[in-house]
Amino acid sequence: MRLADITWPKAEQYFKEKDTVMIPIGSIECHGRHMPVGTDMLIPDKIAELVEEKSDILIVPTIPFGACQSLAPFPGTIHIDSEVLYLYVRQIVDSLYRHGARKIIFLNGHGGNVSTLERIGLEYEEKGVMTVLLNWWLMAWDMNPEWKGGHGGGEETAAIMGIDPSLVDYSEIGGPLKMKDVNENIVATGWRSVKFKGVQVDILRSTRSITDNGWIGTDHPNTATEEWGKEMIKTTADYIVDFIEELKKVEL
């Protein structure tokens, strides 16, 4: 049930009977040259749509924006400062808390949101709220290790193909990923990570300082298929439905 689609009396009745809500959240940011900037919003929103078909949980409108400072230089990216995001999401949680929500599920599509959502969850635990953080891409890895992927790589590309293949610009899927090393001895290995003398450390650089393309990962986008995406999204949604039913049994 989508909160945006019901009247306030129906919302009032829901909170008299139930205390669980889901908040999908993502970001608007670069996902390589081939992917829509709304990738991190579109995927959790689609998962929420499938959850809605099998669960009576109340689903809050998807929050489209997130904290994505390292990707801010790419055109189309909308970065929300972590402190602003914290205040914004906290107001949403506080409103739901006043209405009676005591179990809050964040369905998250973007790694940059994690620290903010964790901060809010720990604060509301002191008020008797149980907060669940579901990072869909990490859950998918556990369900099938072959689905493991990086930013804008095969996993996320497959997910978007499973939602709407026309959103992927196949002409922009190029060759191997080329990352910019710091120098010949300090070699880039991923998001901010570099390796020197066999040891991995982090150098804080924007994504554009690492790759001109905007995707980072060992799973090349050209490995993605529509079938993979559909199966992955459905499997994730089905798991969440089962999790919600188990969560209902928890007494706070």
Question: Taking 90 as the threshold, does the pLDDT of residue 176 lie above it?
Answer: no
Task: Pick the closest to residue 36 from 81, 82, 74, 80 (CA basis).
Answer: 74
Q: Find the length of the chain.
A: 252
Q: Rounded to a whole number, what is the distance in angstroms from the first to the last CA of the chain?
A: 23
Mean pLDDT of 240-249: 97
Q: What is the spatial distance between Cα 28 and Cα 72, in angstroms, rounded to a whole number?
A: 10
How confident is the model over 41-53, as pLDDT tens digits? 999 999 999 999 9
Residue whose C-alpha is closest to residue 66's, from 30, 34, 102, 35 = 30
User: What is the band of 178 on the pLDDT scale with cuts at 50, 70, 90?
Assistant: confident
Phi-psi region of 32 (alpha: psi -120 to 50; beta: other; left: phi over 0): left
Q: Where are the domains of the chain?
A: 3-175+224-247, 178-212
C-alpha–C-alpha distance, residues 46 and 84, integer Å: 26
Task: Give tens-digit pLDDT for 92-101.
Answer: 999 999 999 9
CATH number of 3-175+224-247: 3.40.50.10310
Torsion-angle region of residue 192: left (phi > 0), alpha (psi -120 to 50) or beta?
Answer: left
Report d(CA 52, CA 238) in Å as an integer.
10
Q: Average pLDDT for residues 150-163, to the nearest whole number?
A: 96
What would you report as the CA-atom Rg of the chain, rounded to the nearest whole angstrom? 19
CA 35 – CA 151 distance, rounded (Å):
10
Q: How much is the average pLDDT of 72-82?
A: 96
Question: What average pLDDT does range 124-132 have in this prediction?
Answer: 97
Residue type, 217: G
pLDDT band at 191 (very low <50, low <70, confident <90, very high): confident
Half-sphere exposure of 172 (CA within 13 A, CB side): 16
Whether the pLDDT of residue 175 is over 90: the answer is: no
63 CB burial (10 A radius; 0-12, 13-18, 19+): buried
**What value, to the nearest 5°, has the Cα angle with vertex 197 and ends 194 and 201?**
30
User: Residue 151: CB partners within 8 Å, gap ≥ 6?
Assistant: 31, 32, 191, 215, 216, 217
Task: Tell me the mean pLDDT in the region 173-190.
Answer: 91
C-beta atoms surrounding 48 within 10 Å? 23
- Helix H segments across the chain? 8-17, 39-54, 82-99, 114-125, 136-143, 154-163, 226-247
Question: Across-strand partners of 22?
Answer: 59, 105
pLDDT of residue 208: 87
pLDDT, position 30: 96
